[in-house]
């Protein structure tokens, strides 16, 4: 279902939107919808795994990251896991 939206935007930005929509062969509404979708994707990509907020609270051991199942999979998505892998000494 579509919802009507009224925006207050600088005149130059409106002109840019009109040119961009003409160039892409779409409406300004479609451009705004696409931008909203892109922002939503960006938010999802930047949020990563919500588990990172608990580091320092949870006492995690290296073997926790190797667990099978969702918990281990989520842990392996974290930056902490990547740093831990790089810092792990190589076995001779």
pLDDT 10s digits, 8-37: 999 999 999 999 999 989 999 998 888 888
Q: What is the value of pTM for the model shown?
A: 0.45
Helix (H/G/I), strand (E/B), else coil: 55: strand
Residue 27 is predicted with a pLDDT of 92
pLDDT 10s digits, 40-81: 766 655 555 566 666 666 677 788 888 888 888 888 888 778
Q: What are the residue boundaries of the structural domains of the chain, listed by start? A: 10-47, 49-92
Q: With helix as H, strand as E and coil as C, how does the chain read?
A: CCCCCCCCCCHHHHHHHHHHHHHHCCCHHHHHHHHHHHHHHHHHHHHCCHHHHHECCECCCHHHHCCCCHHHHHHHCCHHHHHHHHHCCCCC
Q: Which residue has the higher pLDDT, 66 or 87?
A: 66
Model confidence band, residue 90 (pLDDT cutoffs 50, 70, 90): low
């Amino acid at each position: 279902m579509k919802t009507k939206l009224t925006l207050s935007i600088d005149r130059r930005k409106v002109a840019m939107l009109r040119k961009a929509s003409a160039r892409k062969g779409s409406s300004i509404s479609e451009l705004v919808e696409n931008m909203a979708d892109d922002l939503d994707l960006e938010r999802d990509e930047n949020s990563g795994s919500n588990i990172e907020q608990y580091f320092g609270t949870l006492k995690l051991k290296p073997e926790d990251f190797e667990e099978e199942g969702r918990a281990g999979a989520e842990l392996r998505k974290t930056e902490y896991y990547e740093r831990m892998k790089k810092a792990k000494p190589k076995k001779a």
